[in-house]
Structure 1
Amino acid sequence: MDVSIEILTFLFFVAGLAGFIDAMAGGGGLLTLPALLAVGVPPTQALATNKLQSSFGSFSASFYFVRNGLVNLKQMRLAIVCTFIGAAIGAESVQYVDASILTSLIPVLLISISMYFLLAPQAQQSSGKQTMSEALFALMIGGGIGFYDGFFGPGTGSIFTVCFVVIGHFSLVEATARTKVLNFTSNIAALTFFVLAGLPVWELGLVMAVGGFTGARLGARVVVTKGQKWIRPLVIFMSMTMAAKLLWEQHQQWFVSLFSHLF
């Protein structure tokens, strides 16, 4: 495909906005993946290129959170390992397993996450002792959601966040920081398989990476300074948006038929 300066500029700014949103609430792929498809990148290469650029954004946010003391990597090392292994298995499995079951279930899960953050009390600090051992949490949550991210992906950040809040009893700010570390881990695992297959469009991916890295750094800074005031509504909005997008893709003909009868 021909790559013009206009396309590169467009993708740079889309990735920057996506990185900013992703650092706080997840769902940046709702912007970057359609943008890649819109400029003519084939679907499989678009997925791989999106993983390339999002890896830089999640690294930027993770590094900022670690540097500001919101995350202790030594305490998360088991979860990091389990997430990497789960994502690697998921990225390999997606080539052989029908993803339609997950496609049907994920909108329901995303709506549930939105309702939780909408209705649950706002906890500013850690709300109690973790209800699951660290090893089991790493295996079940890190490995399980890592597998999902490598296999399918939408809503991974929101799912990680709600697990850290509900099961780990972390504050929303702490949960968001830990989410980005595991998001980066699963991104790298999946990206490794895409690179080995020669799928990323490097010119586009690296330009987007610069934008995503910058946007994610700004988003992470907002998390540290503004905390729940910004994170909570963004998680709700992005989860509902992702759910609506997936439902539209799955049942587009039904919605069109319904609207035609109503109007």
Structure 2
Amino acid sequence: MPDISLTTVVVLCLAALAAGWVDAVVGGGGLLMLPTLLLGLPQNLPAAYALGTNKAVAIVGTTGAAVTYARRVPVDVRTAVRIGLAAVAGSMAGAFFAAGIGNDVLRPVIMVVLLGVGAFVILRPGFGTAPAAAAPGVAGPKRIAAAILIAGLGIGFYDGLFGPGTGTFLVLALTAVLHLDLVRASATAKIVNVCTNAGALAMFAHQGTVLWQLAGLMAVFNLAGGVIGARTALRKGSGFVRVVLLTVVVALVAKLAYEQWLA
């Protein structure tokens, strides 16, 4: 593991805890964790190490959140698995191309994604706050095929290539395509997100760009955040997270912009 100060390790672990919580409630924990890794890891390390380590951490918290949801929310597991298998292929392809991406390219892309998600949350104040609908109908084959293409292959590829915001994008896609209510969309998204993380992690591990010791420590905090976040979402809903998410987005964009152009 590269030389990282104790203070930085503590900050990374706290970021992993917060990211797990945010990701379980509304998705988008990578919007917090990946930029923090990019800022915390030595600048001479390729961006692929931040991406790979992020995946090793995220898969633990996402799995914990998925299990918590599955125990209390009825999910069409068969459809989720079919989308997830496509997501594995998509994320592995994305991770393969991510190896050649440098920090100077990755930071501006993440800033654009952060701004896009922030704008969406501001312009759609009801996102994540609507009560869950009654049990949805079973999706037809055309909608399932569209979900496999968009949420599986498309968002899976994005998750392997970049990653931040994947959980949020999955919730949006599954809600729009499969007509799920928000809670079921979040629960299904977690299953698919586990698959995207697994596919990308397999590729990053093969390429040797995972800091396993750091990831193992951060994963403990991310798991705790994921379980707590899923329970919070099931108990209270996610409207109160909007302010936190927007605050994090603004702070990270400002910090990344400073590192990119002013430092």
Q: CA deviation at 1:54?
A: 0.8
Q: CA RMSD in A?
A: 3.5
Q: CA deviation at 1:6?
A: 5.1
Q: CA deviation at 1:109?
A: 4.5
Q: Secondary structure at the match of 1:209?
A: helix
Moved more, 187-196 or 88-97: 88-97
Moved more, 88-97 or 55-64: 88-97
Q: What residue number does 1:209 align with?
A: 219
Per-residue CA deviations over 1:163-182 (Å, capped at 9, x if unaligned) read 22222221111111111111
1:60 to 61, 64, 69: 64
Q: What residue number does 1:12 align with?
A: 13
Give unpaired runs (5+ residues) of structure 1.
Answer: 257-263
Q: Report if aligned partners of 1:110, 1:243 keep a CA contact under 8 Å in 2.
A: no
Q: What residue number does 1:22 align with?
A: 23
Q: CA deviation at 1:192?
A: 0.7
Distance 1:112 1:198 in 2: 36
1:222 to 223, 232, 242: 232
Q: Report if aligned partners of 2:41, 2:50 keep a CA contact under 8 Å in 1.
A: no
Equivalences, count? 252
TM-score (norm 1): 0.78
Q: Secondary structure at the match of 1:118?
A: coil
Moved more, 201-210 or 116-125: 116-125
Q: What residue number does 1:238 align with?
A: 245
1:94 to 87, 91, 98: 98
Q: What residue number does 1:40 align with?
A: 42
Structure 1 pair 126–92 and aligned structure 2 pair: CA distance change class (3 A): farther
Distance 2:42 2:234 in 1: 37
Structure 1 pair 174–235 and aligned structure 2 pair: CA distance change class (3 A): farther
Structure 1 pair 243–80 and aligned structure 2 pair: CA distance change class (3 A): farther
TM-score (norm 2): 0.78
Residue 149 (1) aligns with residue 159 (2): yes
| Larger Rg, first or second structure (1 or 2) | 1
2:132 to 124, 143, 153: 124
Per-residue CA deviations over 1:199-233 (Å, capped at 9, x if unaligned) read 11111100001111111111111122123xxx245
1:79 to 39, 62, 83: 83
Distance 1:34 1:155 in 2: 12
Q: Secondary structure at the match of 1:205?
A: helix
Q: Report if aligned partners of 1:64, 1:220 keep a CA contact under 8 Å in 2.
A: yes
Q: Secondary structure at the match of 2:96?
A: helix
Moved more, 109-118 or 135-144: 109-118
Residue 140 (1) aligns with residue 144 (2): no
Distance 2:213 2:197 in 1: 19
Structure 1 pair 18–95 and aligned structure 2 pair: CA distance change class (3 A): closer
Q: CA deviation at 1:59?
A: 0.8
Per-residue CA deviations over 1:7-63 (Å, capped at 9, x if unaligned) read 544433331122111111223233333443325373331221111111101111011
Q: Which amino acid aligns with 1:110?
A: V
Structure 1 pair 171–240 and aligned structure 2 pair: CA distance change class (3 A): farther
Q: Report if aligned partners of 1:78, 1:135 keep a CA contact under 8 Å in 2.
A: no
